[in-house]
Amino acid sequence: MTKKELSILLSKLKVFEKPVIKLEQYSTDPEIAGETLWFALMQGDVKDKVIADLGSGTGILGLGAILLGAKKAFLVDIDTKAIELGIGNKAFLEKETGLKLNAAFCAGDVNVFDEKVDVVIMNPPFGTKNEKIDTIFLFKAMNIADVIYSFHKASTKDYIDKLVKDNGFETTHYKEYDFPIKMSMPMHKKRIERIRVGLWRIKKVIK
Ligand code: SAH
């Protein structure tokens, strides 16, 4: 599968119909998801790896990782509606590709998830509604994996870099995207809004 084919396939997945505002439910743009997963594949972080997608939403990152050869992915989300959409997306992809996707759906708070995995790939809530939530996700990721791909608001770069360093990890790669966010939420007037988002690849420092 090429990067382009991956993005096209991911663009056919169902996304949130009625996003829950307090859970910050925004689906990752398929183009950006495809690029991120491809980048992770090139780093040797996907093929035959066990992945966790924390705050998996409708499953674009975790399911995409399996399409690129991950051994298994855990998809963790607190919202059962999101999990249901993820299960539907898995079935759709299996039909579309003829592959059997090894996805384990876990409905519950990210704090309760406790499997050790090789790599976390996540686009968690950015913490606009709940200030500490991005930190909670990052701590959990550092607890269960040595390599992490995570999206955060670019404006929090210094804060994230410090948190990473203070916890025995290092930022090996960083890139920024203009995240298109479809707004079906009453407080936003424009249909598509763009926010500057950073993608971190962080790795545990081996002493
Ligand atoms: N990763 C998905 C969705 C991003 S939106 C994507 O890239 O498209 C963030 C997701 O985190 C939402 O689906 C929301 O339901 C979930 N979430 C928010 N708080 C959570 C918590 N405490 N534990 C687990 N999931 C949570």
Predicted confidence pLDDT, tens digits, the chain (207 residues): 899 999 999 999 999 988 888 888 889 999 999 999 999 999 999 999 999 999 999 999 999 999 999 999 999 999 999 999 999 999 999 999 999 999 999 999 999 999 999 999 999 998 876 778 999 999 999 999 999 999 999 999 999 999 999 999 999 999 999 988 776 555 655 577 889 999 999 999 987
pTM: 0.95
Show the tokens assigned to 113.
């998830």
199 lines ligand 1 (CB under 6 A): no
134 lines ligand 1 (CB under 6 A): no
- Quick one: 25-204 is in which CATH superfamily? Vaccinia Virus protein VP39 (3.40.50.150)
SS3 21: helix
Q: Are the C-beta atoms of 180 and 29 separated by less than 8 Å?
A: yes
Q: What distance, in Å, lies between the first and last C-alpha atoms of the chain?
A: 37
Side by side, the strands of the sheet bearing 147-153 are 103-107, 72-77, 50-54, 119-122, 147-153, 192-204, 169-182
Residue 110 DSSP code: G
Report the DSSP pairing between strands 72-77 and 147-153. Answer: unpaired
Q: What is the pLDDT of residue 86?
A: 98
The number of C-alpha atoms within 13 Å of 91 and in the hemisphere containing its C-beta is: 7
How many Å lie between the centroid of ligand 1 and the Cα of residue 27? Answer: 9
Closest CA to 34 of 72, 16, 60: 60
Q: What is the pLDDT of residue 185?
A: 55
63 lines ligand 1 (CB under 6 A): no
55 lines ligand 1 (CB under 6 A): yes
Show the tokens assigned to 148.
């992490």
Determine the residue of 79, 122, 132, 185 to mutate for testing ligand 1's pocket, defined as the one with the most ligand atoms within 8 A of the Cβ atom.
79
Q: What is the pLDDT of residue 127?
A: 86
SS3 79: coil
